[in-house]
């Protein structure tokens, strides 16, 4: 028991190495660009360079921080087996009988996806019926809603609660690296033509350009791929293995159309799309109903009463139907008024 605990602690510690590496590289890039790199030319040019650099730097660090420290969303207790069914399930040895137990419980849940064999998706590790698009992450040792992948560079599982932050992290890291590479290029050329004064700053210029260019190339491919996923409303897992519905596999089963697919990740308030902040929860709830093939009818019908009371009935009705995609533990959000479904 003790050796296993020690091993687990070591694994958790080692998992932070990629994050620490990125943090050190970013700190060095800031020092090299702001302190060591002597920007020649007018003061106006210097101010513009530093202003753009700091804006991209702040947005990059902010989105990276949010991606790392936003806790993954997990299924709520509604997807756990009741005590009697759980005891019966654990005692039963026959898979077909276990499936019958799961089917009885799942009748009150909005489950549309199945396993490849058409069975109810159940996680024996977490002892929970998996909501649609939910998968178990072996690294985090938990079931994660709308799981995309586990990213070692953020030491976190990317899913429902932080996928927007991850996309913004890729966006601003690409902008950050592109700006550094473009603005340092002239000094990099001077380095090779021996026009740059002899100093240790020359080596900062050399490595700064190479590191920025290298990260640009690697991030660009990943960024392009995830933009494609957002446009299709797919996760990385779903891109490699199409989700199986009651009528069979369908790779476009969650696609709502390009604009609504984007809103699934960034919400319906365009003002906040480029900011790594939690999007209004109502936006997630609204589009989640349409994923479920208009399970609850149109959003306009649900909100027809209008006003605070109508909005309250809208939320209650969604929660009462236990929508699999929106029943999550949003413990990462400490905002007043945000639903905290356990």
Catalytic residue selected from 134, 143, 151, 157:
151
Helices of type H across 15-155: 17-30, 43-69, 83-91, 95-106
Taking CA atoms, 121 is separated from 15, 101, 136, 176, in Å, by: 29, 12, 11, 41
User: Which 3 state secondary structure label does DSSP give 113?
Assistant: strand
Q: CA 86, CA 92: separation in Å to the nearest integer?
A: 10
Beta carbons of 135 and 237 less than 8 angstroms apart? yes
The whole-angstrom separation of Cα 122 and Cα 112 is 13
d(CA 55, CA 176): 9
Burial of residue 86, with CB atoms counted within 10 A of its CB: 0-12 exposed, 13-18 middle, 19 or more buried = middle
Reply yes or no on whether 151 is catalytic.
Answer: yes
Tokens representing residue 42 in the block: 């007018």
For the beta carbon of residue 34, count every other beta carbon within 10 angstroms.
14
Catalytic residues: 151
């Amino acid at each position: 028991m003790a050796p296993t605990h020690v091993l687990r602690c070591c694994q958790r510690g080692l998992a932070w190495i990629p994050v620490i590496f990125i943090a050190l590289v970013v700190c060095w890039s800031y020092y090299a660009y702001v302190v060591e790199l002597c920007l020649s030319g007018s003061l106006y040019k210097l101010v513009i360079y530093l202003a753009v650099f700091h804006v991209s730097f702040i947005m990059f660090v902010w989105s990276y921080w949010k991606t790392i420290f936003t806790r993954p969303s997990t299924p709520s207790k509604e997807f756990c087996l009741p005590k009697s069914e759980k005891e019966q399930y654990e005692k039963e040895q026959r898979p077909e009988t276990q499936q019958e137990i799961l089917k009885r419980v799942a009748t009150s849940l909005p489950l549309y996806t199945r396993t490849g064999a058409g069975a109810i998706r159940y996680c024996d590790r977490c002892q929970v019926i998996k909501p649609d698009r939910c998968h178990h992450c072996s690294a985090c040792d938990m079931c994660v809603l709308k799981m995309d992948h586990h990213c070692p560079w953020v030491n976190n599982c990317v899913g429902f609660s932080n996928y927007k932050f991850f996309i913004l992290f890729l966006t601003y890291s690409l902008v950050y690296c592109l700006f550094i590479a473009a603005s340092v290029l002239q000094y990099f050329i001077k380095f090779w033509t021996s026009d740059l004064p002899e100093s240790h700053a020359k080596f900062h210029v050399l490595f700064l350009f190479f590191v920025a260019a290298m990260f640009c190339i690697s991030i660009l491919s990943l960024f392009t791929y995830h933009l494609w996923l957002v446009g299709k409303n797919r996760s990385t897992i779903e891109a490699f293995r199409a989700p199986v519905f009651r009528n069979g596999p369908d790779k476009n089963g969650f696609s709502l159309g390009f604009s609504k697919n984007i809103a699934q990740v960034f919400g319906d308030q365009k003002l906040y799309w480029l900011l790594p902040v939690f999007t209004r929860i109502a936006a997630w709830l609204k589009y989640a109903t349409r994923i479920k093939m208009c399970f609850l009818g149109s959003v306009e019908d649900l909100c027809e009463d209008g006003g605070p009371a109508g909005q309250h009935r809208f939320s209650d009705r969604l929660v009462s139907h236990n929508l699999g995609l929106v029943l999550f533990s949003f413990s990462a959000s400490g905002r007043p008024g945000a639903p905290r479904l356990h």
